[in-house]
Chains A and B, each alone.
Chain A
């Protein structure tokens, strides 16, 4: 085979100056998206450019997730009532990957899972009012989010929450809906936006009966499908109200009247 010098010449122009790697970054990228998440964490210390590629790169995260799905590496995450997590292989339900394990940070043990989407899980301590944790259980990475709009003793639990991927801006978003306002966190910019909840939805949220249960809170988990997030309010079937978030607007579907009410807010 040809010498390394020749290979370097072949790839010249696509490499950063001073980089001794014989492969250009676009090929390294194609290889690393196929590596298991836990190995990737170890490979962060190979070099600065590898670290930059693996961390804080939304395109990398997305491609890596798509590859894992293709390779049948999808997993189900279960949370026991004592707060411990378990992984189950979807293509082999009998195989439990990690028997039991706690969220890595001690400070946040016993957190509630608010919602999850695309391998990301949103967690919150029961009494915390502004701190949330975004966790990627397969890579073990986590990110603490602090909502700047929350004041102590004001709101401790959102009525509804959701995670979604916005393909128009190639961004993951966290949406938390309180009775009078809602906040959206953008992962790519790391910023929060606050908006007033429209009166129609406010009415619904205030009328939303919070049923005290030992193990759960009265909030609605959003289900994210192709850029839309769907929530249902009120568990009674005849009072079903569904609202949808998509690209900066919220739409309300009233099951009883069978009509859509469009409520537009500027989120982006």
Chain B
């Protein structure tokens, strides 16, 4: 059964990262990305990705390979892979989420956004600012006003850690 697919020449694609590294992957793996799929449909086999850097691209190719071979039996294995995939720093997650957004890989985008949402939900606004590298643009008076208006959301202790 498998022999027919193996003897058939597999279509390959070359992805080029923003730092000019090239990766060869099977077309069937690559087309899980809507961005790549659109290019493949237009006849491209060489895909430059000026918005995705090598380190993120390596991780994303790993993810696409794993998910391309999804069957009923390796469900648990993929779950473990996914759990491990998102177990990283916020900066890494932001880089991956930017790449997944650019590549339009909806299941990966969904998983990364859910991970980030779950990890920030108990954090203080100060910690969230540091994690997202946001400068507070409120005056102290403006911030006090918002805190007062939403007092119930500020009851209790919050997580100040940045990981």
Contacts and interface: CB of A to CB of B under 8 A. Distances in A.
Interface stretch (B4-12, B39-47, B68-76, B152-160): B152-160
B146 A35 contact: no
Given A35-B117, A39-B122, A20 B95 contact: no
A21 B51 CA distance: 17
B107 interface: no
B158 A42 contact: yes
A47 B91 contact: no
B98 interface: yes
A27 interface: yes
Interface in A1-45: 1-2, 4, 6-7, 10-11, 19-24, 26-28, 30-32, 34-36, 38-39, 41-45
Interface stretch (B20-28, B78-86, B135-143): B135-143
Contact of B121 (A4, A28, A36): A36
The B contact surface, by secondary structure, is helix
A236 interface: no
Contacts of A35: 117, 120-121
A104 interface: yes
Contacts of A42: 124-125, 150, 153-154, 158
Given A1-B95, A42-B125, A42-B154, A10 B51 contact: yes
Contact of B133 (A20, A24, A34, A44): A20
Contacts of A27: 97-98, 101, 113
B117 A34 contact: yes
Contacts of B129: 46-47
Contacts of B14: none
A207 interface: no
B163 interface: no
A47 B59 CA distance: 31
A46 B18 CA distance: 32
B82 to A, nearest CB: 16
A23 B133 CA distance: 9
Interface of A: 1-2, 4, 6-7, 10-11, 19-24, 26-28, 30-32, 34-36, 38-39, 41-51, 104, 140
Interface of B: 18, 51-53, 55-56, 89, 91-92, 94-95, 97-98, 101-102, 109, 113-114, 116-118, 120-122, 124-125, 128-129, 132-138, 143, 146-147, 150, 152-154, 158
